[in-house]
Copies of this chain bind each other. A is one copy, B any other.
Amino acid sequence: MTIPIVSTHVANIDIPRPKDVGVLAMEVYFPRRCISEAELEEFDGVSKGKYTIGLGQEYMAWPDDREDINSFALNAVAGLLEKYNIDPKSIGRIDVGTETIIDKSKSVKTHLMDLFAEAGNFDIEGIDSKNACYGSTAALFNAINWIESTSWDGRNAIVVAGDIAVYAEGAARPAGGAGACAILLGPNAPIVFEPIHGTHMSNTYDFYKPNLSSEYPEVDGPVSVVTYIAALDEAYSRFREKTARQLKLAQINGYSNGHVHSGDKPADPKAAFSLQDVDYALFHSPYGKQAVKGHARMLFNDFRSAPNAPQFADIPNPEAFLAASQKESLSDKNVEKTFIAASKKSFAQKTDPGMACSKRLGNMYTGSLYGCLASLVANVEPAQLRDSRVSMFAFGSGCAASFFTFRVKGDTSEIKEKMDLMNRLAAMKVVPCQEFVDALALREKNHNAVSYTPEGSIDNIWPGAFYLDSVDSKYRRKYVKAPLA
């Protein structure tokens, strides 16, 4: 891939913003091993379907103490640079989103600078963004905004989104996962982000990590379930309101982008945008079932804005769904059930093509939504993906959420080919559940340790991948590459 560089190293004062900023290239890194959630049900002695149907999980990836967030990020970025033959000097910014904090001060980003040292490129802006699973989306927005700012110097940006999601023994453990995405961003991209963001942020204690000496989070189950859906309602509403205002402005100014609804004007201006305006809808997916619920909730919002639309003709007892307040609807199991059923076909068409990483790797936290993007590119033929419009719902507990969209304006063939995602996911080793339990015990034992050499076997590292060699007496971490096969 020839990565277009508009100019180098000169701040473009008063030069118009570059056009079509988006994804030029992409890579996903993940551990070599995974376990089957069906086997884990048996291993844990829980009822069949608890993880596979209840959570909607199929497999889950995890590293032992040979990998950490720095080695994950190094692998994702090194893979990106190598596969696409990117000149390290062509990078002017790197933003990392992660909630896997192994140092309260030093950023993951500083470790990535090792990949650019040989080329002599130390002039790379951007550090780490933190708020649960939302850090990646903040990183993405920040990198795009840099390219659109007067401070942009013509070089491309990289966004890294990755985490190691591990839980204490108990109900949440099967909802873990691991992986990291690296995304090359620049102008004139085949995948182009649109400017409107519908955002919702508020102070919640649904999932958080206040126990600094543990790698595990605190999770308030009941609060957590509602927070995601409530944030989706709000972020999606803000997005739709802004879209409606923009359409109105465009109409006033004599423009139309083809998305103005004709016929009877809906009473709710939010109806200016619905699921029907996108070809694909991607959701932050802590587990598969959450994406199903998110998709259904989007449809529920569409229904509330335009209940008389033909697509809702089969919704049973619609008055009840319209009479309830938004707050009441959050905990109404009948709402969930009805709209999951009503959106089944839509989910299969618009969301499932983006679920490959979630199904194989589990929850990548910040990487989850961008794993959906990678899966979509990997699963859909470039000719079919071209000219499609895709929505993204980003969510991080605490909480921070944004709803936004992108358009596929160019050819995604090279990204699909270079990522080689489906083959690589298939090549993972599916191992017995005891290996997973042992690996997590090893992580617990060595979490935050000083003066130690990890115990995990190098055989479980992909050939040529970075891993943690040792932590010295001053907590300094050393990374080396596994031998090539």
* A interface list, Cβ under 8 A from B: 9-11, 13, 16-17, 99-107, 109-111, 113-114, 117, 122-132, 134-135, 138, 141-142, 144-146, 148-151, 153, 195-205, 207-213, 217-218, 220, 234, 238, 241-242, 245-246, 249, 396-400, 402, 448, 450, 474-476
**Smallest CB–CB gap between A257 and chain B, Å?**
10
Q: B123, B145, B245: which contacts A142 (Cβ < 8 A)?
A: B145
Closest to A477 in B: B210
Q: Given contacts A106-B209, A109-B400, could you give 7 more A-B pairs where the C-beta distance is less than 8 Å?
A: A105-B397, A110-B131, A110-B203, A123-B199, A127-B130, A145-B145, A151-B197
**Smallest CB–CB gap between A29 and chain B, Å?**
19
Q: Compute how far the CA of A210 lies from the CA of B449 in the bound complex, rounded to whole angstroms.
A: 9
Q: Compute how far the CA of A461 lies from the CA of B9 in the bound complex, rounded to whole angstroms.
A: 48
Q: B151, B205, B474: which contacts A141 (Cβ < 8 A)?
A: B151
Known contacts A105-B398, A149-B149, A210-B448; is A201 also within 8 Å of B122 by CB? yes
Let me know if A210 and B102 touch, CB within 8 A. yes
Count chain B CB atoms within 10 A of each CB in A138, A145, A198, A209 and give the residue with the most: A145
**Smallest CB–CB gap between A180 and chain B, Å?**
17
Q: Compute how far the CA of A148 lies from the CA of B141 in the bound complex, rounded to whole angstroms.
A: 12
Q: B104, B110, B126, B204: which contacts A209 (Cβ < 8 A)?
A: B104
Q: Compute how far the CA of A130 lies from the CA of B110 in the bound complex, rounded to whole angstroms.
A: 11
Between-chain CB contacts (< 8 Å), 20 pairs: A13-B195, A102-B210, A103-B209, A105-B208, A106-B208, A106-B210, A107-B130, A107-B131, A110-B203, A123-B198, A123-B199, A125-B201, A128-B129, A141-B151, A142-B145, A144-B151, A145-B151, A148-B151, A153-B242, A218-B474
Let me know if B10 and A195 touch, CB within 8 A. no
How many identical subunits does the complex contain? 2
Let me know if A128 and B126 touch, CB within 8 A. no
**Smallest CB–CB gap between A151 and chain B, Å?**
5
- Minimum-distance CB pairs A-B, first 5: A210-B475, A104-B209, A107-B131, A145-B145, A127-B131
Known contacts A106-B208, A203-B110, A209-B105; is A127 also within 8 Å of B134 by CB? yes
Q: Compute how far the CA of A212 lies from the CA of B214 in the bound complex, rounded to whole angstroms.
A: 9
Closest to A217 in B: B105
Count chain B CB atoms within 10 A of each CB in A134, A141, A399 and give the residue with the most: A141
Q: B148, B201, B205, B207: which contacts A150 (Cβ < 8 A)?
A: B148
A130 / chain B contacts, CB cutoff of 8 Å: 105, 107, 127-130
Q: Compute how far the CA of A127 lies from the CA of B132 in the bound complex, rounded to whole angstroms.
A: 10
Q: Compute how far the CA of A201 lies from the CA of B111 in the bound complex, rounded to whole angstroms.
A: 10
Known contacts A105-B99, A122-B202, A448-B213; is A135 also within 8 Å of B127 by CB? yes
A151 / chain B contacts, CB cutoff of 8 Å: 141, 144-145, 148, 195-197
**Smallest CB–CB gap between A403 and chain B, Å?**
11
Q: Compute how far the CA of A220 lies from the CA of B17 in the bound complex, rounded to whole angstroms.
A: 43
**Smallest CB–CB gap between A68 and chain B, Å?**
11
**Smallest CB–CB gap between A317 and chain B, Å?**
31
Let me know if A398 and B110 touch, CB within 8 A. yes
Q: Compute how far the CA of A100 lies from the CA of B105 in the bound complex, rounded to whole angstroms.
A: 8
Closest to A163 in B: B105
A200 / chain B contacts, CB cutoff of 8 Å: 122-123
Let me know if B131 and A109 touch, CB within 8 A. yes
Let me know if A110 and B245 touch, CB within 8 A. no
Q: Compute how far the CA of A104 lies from the CA of B205 in the bound complex, rounded to whole angstroms.
A: 13
Closest to A138 in B: B127
